[in-house]
Structure 1
Amino acid sequence: MTSEQLKERTKQYSLLIINLVEQLPMTPASRIIANQIAKSGTSVGANYMAVCRSRSDREFIAKMEIVLEEADETLFWLEIIKEKQWLPNQVIDMLWKEGNELTAIFVSSLKTVKAKINL
C-alpha cells in the first residue's frame, strides 16, 4: 500500500468515525465518549499526514508512534460503545476491523523503520 493510498484510507476512517459519532445517543455519558472518539479517530488520519512529511527516520518513528497511539485509543472507545450497546454491533465491528487493520499497518511500518536504523 502506498502512502497516498494510506492517506486516503485514514481519511475515510476519520469520516466513518464522524458518522458513528453522529449516530450515538445524546446522553451525558455518550457525549463524553463521542467527543473522545471523534478526537482520536480523526487524529489517526491527521497525524498520518504529518508522518508523510517526516524529514528523517527518527521523525517518522516519533510521528508514527503518535498515529499508533491514536488508533489504539480509538479501538478502546469502540469497545466502550459496543459494551454499552449504544449502536448495533455491525456498525462497530466494521470500524473495529478497519481500525485493527490500520493498526497492523502502522506497527509493521514502525518495525521496518526501526530495524533499518537498528532501534
Structure 2
Amino acid sequence: MLKSGTAIGALIREAQQAESRADFIHKLSIALKEANETEYWIDLLYQSQLIEKKGYESIKPDIVELLKLLTSIIKSTKNRRDNG
C-alpha cells in the first residue's frame, strides 16, 4: 500500500510537468491505476481486520474522491484534446 499510495502523488507531480497533453493523460492514467490498487489494499486491510472500522471510514472516502477526481480530469482532458 505504501508503494501504490505514494506513487499517486509522484505521478501527479510528473503530470504537472508533462511534455504534451498525451503525456499528461498517460501519467494521470497511471496515477489512476495506482489509486485503484491503493483502494484494493485499503479494502483488504479492513476485511482482514488489520485496520479498525474508524480508520477505514476515515480513509476510504478520501481514496474514492481521489479516484473520481482523477477520472474526471482524464476525461475532460481527453475531451479537450479530441475537440480542439
TM-score interval for Structure 1 and Structure 2 normalised by the shorter chain: over 0.9
State the match for 2:16 in structure 1: 52
4+ aligned runs moved over 6 Å, structure 1: none
SS at match of 2:82: coil
**Residue 84, structure 1, aligned to residue 48, structure 2:** yes
TM-score normalised by length of structure 2: 0.93
Aligned residues: 83
TM-score normalised by length of structure 1: 0.67
- Structure 1 residue runs without a partner (length 5+): 1-36
**Residue 117, structure 1, aligned to residue 81, structure 2:** yes
CA RMSD between the two structures: 1.2
Identity %: 28
What amino acid maps onto 1:99 in structure 2? I
Q: Which has the higher contact order (CA 8 A, sep 6+)?
A: 2
**Residue 95, structure 1, aligned to residue 71, structure 2:** no
SS at match of 1:43: helix
State the match for 2:71 in structure 1: 107
1:65-108: per-residue Cα shift (whole Å, max 9, x none)?
A: 01000000000001100100111111122211101111111000
